[in-house]
Amino acid sequence: MNDQATTVLAIGTKKGLWLATSRNRRSWTLSDPLFLMQEVPGVGIDTRGGRTRILVGTRSEHWGPSVVHSDDLGATWTEPERGSIGFDSDDGAALERIWQIQPDSEGRPGVVWAGCEPISVWKSTDGGEHFELNRGLWDHPHRSEWGAGYGGAAAHTVLPSPADDSIHVAMSTGGVYRSVDGGTSWEPRNRGISAYFLPDPQPEFGQCVHKIARDAGNPRHLYAQNHHGVYATPDAGDTWTSIAEGLPSDFGFVMLSHPRRPGTAWVIPLKADGERIPPDGELAVHRTDDGGGSWSRLHRGLPTREYNAVLRDAAAVDAADPVGVYFGTRGGSVYASADEGESFVEVASHLPDVLTVRAAVVAD
Amino acid sequence: MDSVSVLIPTLLRPLVEGRSEVVLPADAPMTVGGLLDRLSEGRPLLERRIRDETGALRRYVNIYVGGEDVRRLELLDTPVEPGDTVMVIQSVAGG
């Protein structure tokens, strides 16, 4: 990695946003808190087109949710007066929370996706300043049967494919849905994923998927961390098979994939359902380099005892070489690895519950 | 009096030019909803802070008319008379 580049790490918490910066991804400078008393469940860093735009989904208990953005690494922020995301009055719904802000690929400049609560997907074509509701998913006949997990009913992951017009959305609870026509129509894609908490453990939809990630080498290859169950699909979700063997637990919230190397992904297992802590209180990241065939336990630099969970969006990778891996806990600790998870340093501690992290190498 | 005084909480004052009180003309009775419509004219950000897209008062925003909580009255249909004082207050929320 170029030592002269700066990496910015955005840390969204239950009570504000922090920005950490580093030249070497080992020593970090942490900003003062931003948006204090506002929950920050969704952050996106869009580095396309030579501009770094940090998009932040905020939510005030009093004043509601909003999307703000900064084009100067957090020095100033802009909030569109009429709001970036909002239902029409005849939709009969109000935006509750922005769970995901996902810039599309280089080939679709300006396109940014958002996954929200209530379960909805939104698309912006102006870099995240204004979003349109995806009507195909909003009007889906399954809508009335989708449920709410503990955190709320949300489309929490939106994965547009860089290769074609397909998009995968993961919702809790509802499972994985796929569009092959840019979002016009959607079909559930959960065959092989168990929903042990339902009377029919193999339903067409209704699974509690916690996070999905797309493989770098084959856009039709995806990984999923479920509410129990770690899976991979070779065919864009038509069939899923377990890749949990070798992990200490098949429960967790996180799923990350390498931005370039096929077959590499990371999970952070938790023991569940009765405990929801790292197995035996020993925090570790697990990485596969063969598409889930085997896993390596990575913990150098992490605390020997940790009793906090890592939430679904509180982990991210950057695009540097070697790839940086980042995550934060509900106990407010944030860790960074500059070597693909082999070792970690603590970026911050004693923050509020970490809800989301995003990292990017930015131009000086 | 042919006006209604709306008291603005500190956190929303940047959206009303820094004022703690906005006096709106009112030569006839109206509802709290109608009053908020007038208050929010030209101030879409203020509107979003107080009411959601369905027009509902946000859960942790309280409005008092003459010292009475509109949630104990007729909510946004609560009548407002010329001369009334209307308070917008954030309720106790957040950990």
Is the residue at B11 inside a domain?
Answer: yes
Residue A65 pLDDT exceeds 90: yes
Structural contact between residues A34 and A43, judged by C-beta atoms closer than 8 angstroms: no
> Which of A36, A38, A40, A63 best probes binding to B when mutated, by most B CB atoms within 10 angstroms?
A63
Residues 6+ apart with CB under 8 A from B17: none
- What pLDDT does residue A273 have? 76
Contacts with A15 from chain B: Cβ below 8 Å? 95
Structural contact between residues A263 and A220, judged by C-beta atoms closer than 8 angstroms: no
Q: Give the closest of A62, A79, A83 to B58, CB-based.
A: A62
Domain range for B23: 3-90
Q: Which amino acid is at A297?
A: R
Residue A129 pLDDT exceeds 60: yes
Q: Do A86 and B48 touch (CB under 8 A)?
A: yes
CB atoms within 10 A of CB A102: 21
Total count of domains within chain B = 1
- Distance separating alpha carbons of residues A220 and A352, to the nearest angstrom: 37
- What pLDDT does residue A198 have? 80
Residue A197 pLDDT exceeds 90: no
Is the residue at A1 inside a domain?
Answer: no
Q: Do A63 and B94 touch (CB under 8 A)?
A: no
Average pLDDT, integer, range A39-55: 96
Q: Do B54 and A81 touch (CB under 8 A)?
A: no
- A222-226/A230-233 β-pairing: antiparallel
- Distance separating alpha carbons of residues A267 and A253, to the nearest angstrom: 8
Contacts with B56 from chain A: Cβ below 8 Å? 94
Is the residue at B30 inside a domain?
Answer: yes
CB atoms within 10 A of CB A99: 27
- Distance separating alpha carbons of residues A313 and A326, to the nearest angstrom: 11
- What pLDDT does residue A1 have? 56
Nearest-neighbour CA in chain A from B65: distance (Å): 19
Alpha carbon A94 to chain centroid distance? 22
- What pLDDT does residue A70 have? 98
Residue A96 pLDDT exceeds 90: yes
**SS3 label, residue A222:** strand
Q: What is the pLDDT of residues A5-24, one digit of tens each?
A: 899 999 999 999 999 999 99
Mean pLDDT of all residues belonging to chain A: 95
Average pLDDT, integer, range A30-53: 96
Q: With the C-alpha atoms ordered A297, A300, A306, A309, is the resulting torsion angle positive or negative?
A: negative
- Distance separating alpha carbons of residues A271 and A250, to the nearest angstrom: 8
What H or E segment, with its residue span, contains residue A135? helix A135-138
- Scanning B1-95, the segments in alpha helix (DSSP H) are 32-40, 44-50
Is the residue at A295 inside a domain?
Answer: yes
Is the residue at B95 inside a domain?
Answer: no
Residue B49 falls in which region: left (phi positive, over 0), alpha (psi -120 to 50) or beta: alpha
| A90 and chain B in contact, CB less than 8 A | no
Q: What is the pLDDT of residues B20-36, one digit of tens each?
A: 999 999 988 999 999 99
Residues 6+ apart with CB under 8 A from A203: A190, A195
Q: Is the peptide bond before A118 cis (omega within 30 degrees of 0)?
A: yes
Is the residue at A74 inside a domain?
Answer: yes
Domain range for A190: 6-362
Residue B95 pLDDT exceeds 70: no
Residue A314: is it exposed, middle or buried by C-beta count within 10 angstroms (0-12/13-18/19+)? buried
Q: What is the CATH number of the domain that holds A293?
A: 2.130.10.10
Q: What is the CATH number of the domain that holds B12?
A: 3.10.20.30
Q: Do A63 and B58 touch (CB under 8 A)?
A: yes
| Structure confidence at residue A2 as a pLDDT band (50, 70, 90) | low
Q: What is the pLDDT of residues A139-181, one digit of tens each?
A: 999 999 998 877 789 999 999 999 999 999 999 989 999 999 9
- What pLDDT does residue B1 have? 66
Total count of domains within chain A = 1
Q: What is the pLDDT of residues A335-360, one digit of tens each?
A: 999 999 999 999 999 999 999 999 99
> Which of A62, A82, A91 best probes binding to B when mutated, by most B CB atoms within 10 angstroms?
A62
- Distance separating alpha carbons of residues A149 and A147, to the nearest angstrom: 7
Q: Give the closest of A61, A79, A91 to B93, CB-based.
A: A61
- What is the token pair recorded at A347? 């970026």
| Structure confidence at residue A3 as a pLDDT band (50, 70, 90) | low
- What pLDDT does residue A335 have? 98
